[in-house]
Amino acid sequence: MKNKMTFNFLSLGLCLFLFVGCGEKKVESDKEALVVITSPDNPPFEFKDTAKGGDKVIGFDMDVIQKLSEYLGRPIQIVEADFASLIPSLQSGRADMAISELAPTEERRKSVDFSNPYYSNTSALIVPQNSSITSENDLQGQKLGVQLGSTNEITGRKLAEKIPHITLLSLSKVGNLVQELKSGRIQAALVAGAVAKKVTKSTPGLKVVKINIPPEELVIVFPKGSPHVASINEALEKIKGDIKDIESRWITL
Amino acid sequence: MFLDFERIWPSVPYILQGVQVTLAYTSVSLFLGFFWGTFLALFKVSHTKPLVWVAGFYTSIFRGTPLLLQLMLIYHAIPQLTGYNISIWEAGILTFTLNSGAYVAEHIRGGINAVDKGQMEAALSLGISYPFIMKDIILPQAIRTILPSLVNEAIDLLKESALISVIGGADILWRAQIVASEKYLYFEPLLIAGAAYYVLVMILTIAARILEKKLKTT
């Protein structure tokens, strides 16, 4: 009786292990497919329509990468990761490239390579509906939230140099920033213009404030010495018109 | 405070699909961790000093550092050091098994020590060899004594498996966060994830109580 039970447990565990092991997506692909890593928590750039099952990542960046894949004639495989592990994943060879509203910062340049810019990402502020902030100059003495490692963190730092007494709070997701705004722990959040639009549309009690700051360029990120940089740059040049179309589909400013 | 469940409702199935992922991580790691822990416990109660030291050092490492750190190290360092591209699933199972094994080993060691010394002496005087004494006499009694703490370990593991979301494992918590970032609503998906974990833990608790009763009567 006891032996039978142990056996049952053993086989149950084994079945589970095999079953789940098979279901797991293989990161190593065949030589053809380019593995693209992204953090699907950032509408409208990369996110999931969870009400429709959420098994596909959609958004502006995804359409750009799809167009690149069509142009290059190479299939792509999307791998999902947390924003903070995108660059470590490139370094450990888990993916060929990352696209996730990433900016070419000097700090990143030390460990990865960049493509040419594919989009100029304007920034905007999200503030509570009743806020007195009407431009970036009103941020003096205020607490400003930015997404950790995003283009807006760079813009936020530039703002903090220009305008005195801004306290920057870097959080890992835009959703966290919205939550902080709602609970009043920050007075404004600096995000991409497209994101600001999307947030204020779906979250009552918040509004967009435009700011007068030059946009940051978005790039595709590769492991150091990647052989794909040149072909992607060439393809980006060719699909410029398509990117305009993709922009009009996802980004309404 | 005003909660907007209406916008979350269509995404609830997406979050609940994480239940099977969470259960898979928990059950497989618990299962493997139990055997690994038994193995380590035998090291700990052995009379060969180096084995005791090795097991002691192992436990001190895995109990002395945060599980999250172990997970991130295993996931990110293994490909860089060995060239083997460890998947999220493998990294999760490996970390949870190694970590859980360290805790289970301590429980089992306690259980073994709780078995009356006379039994070992009696069995030895009957000429039964040490492995068989352990397997057939000591361990079955030890495990019955520590069953409640093993259930606790299972519950801990179930909740700690949520750490897999940090490296992108699509469990309950990760899915809740994906919905949160899609809708810019935080409380609602997290509350649903919390309810899912709570129900799972309750089921586990009740099942353990039944099992405990059964073992007591046999």
Contact B143, B211 (CB under 8 A): no
Are the beta carbons of A178 and B184 separated by less than 8 Å? yes
Domains A29-120+217-250 and A123-210 share a fold: yes
Torsion of CA B99, B100, B104, B106, to 10 degrees: 30
| pLDDT for the residue A239 | 94
Are the beta carbons of A51 and B79 separated by less than 8 Å? no
Least confident of A104-108, B86-90, B195-199: A104-108
Least Cα separation, residue A167 to chain B (angstroms): 23
| pLDDT for the residue A35 | 95
Least Cα separation, residue A222 to chain B (angstroms): 16
Q: Does B3 touch chain A (CB under 8 A)?
A: no
Residues of chain A with pLDDT under 70: 1-31, 253
Q: Does A196 touch chain B (CB under 8 A)?
A: no
- Residue B55 and residue B50: Cα distance in Å, rounded? 9
| pLDDT for the residue A30 | 44
| pLDDT for the residue A75 | 94
Paired tokens of B110: 């306690």
C-beta atoms surrounding A152 within 10 Å: 31
Choose the mutation target among A4, A9, A48, A50 for the interface with B, i.e. most B CBs under 10 Å. A50
Length of chain B: 218
- Residue A146 and residue A43: Cα distance in Å, rounded? 15
Q: What is the mean pLDDT of residues B147-161?
A: 93
Could you tell me which CATH number the domain at A29-120+217-250 has?
Answer: 3.40.190.10
* CATH superfamily label, B5-217: MetI-like (1.10.3720.10)
- pLDDT at residue B144 above 60? yes
Are the beta carbons of A50 and B87 separated by less than 8 Å? no
Considering chain B, what is the average pLDDT of its residues? 92
- Three-class SS of residue B134? helix
Are the beta carbons of A175 and B180 separated by less than 8 Å? yes
pLDDT, tens digit, for every residue of B166-185?
888 999 999 999 998 888 88
Using alpha carbons, list the distances in angstroms from residue B119 to A38, B30, B41, B98, B116: 59, 29, 18, 31, 6
| pLDDT for the residue A237 | 94
| pLDDT for the residue B92 | 97
Predicted complex ipTM? 0.76
**What residue ranges do the domains of chain A occupy?**
29-120+217-250, 123-210
Chain A residues touching residue B183 (CB < 8 angstroms) = 202
**What residue ranges do the domains of chain B occupy?**
5-217
- pLDDT at residue B191 above 60? yes
Query: Which residues 59-98 of B have a C-beta within 8 angstroms of A?
Result: 75-76, 79-80, 83, 85, 87-89, 93
Which CATH code, of 3.40.190.80, 1.20.1110.10, 3.40.50.720, 3.40.190.10, is assigned to A123-210?
3.40.190.10
Are the beta carbons of A175 and B175 separated by less than 8 Å? no
Contact A80, A35 (CB under 8 A): no
The pTM for the full model equals 0.82
Paired tokens of A244: 């305009």
- pLDDT at residue B29 above 60? yes
Residues of chain B with pLDDT > 90, as a percent, come to: 76
Q: What is the mean pLDDT of residues B63-79?
A: 93
Paired tokens of B164: 């897999």
Q: Which amino acid makes up residue A30?
A: D
| pLDDT for the residue A214 | 86
pLDDT bucket at B6, cuts 50 / 70 / 90: confident
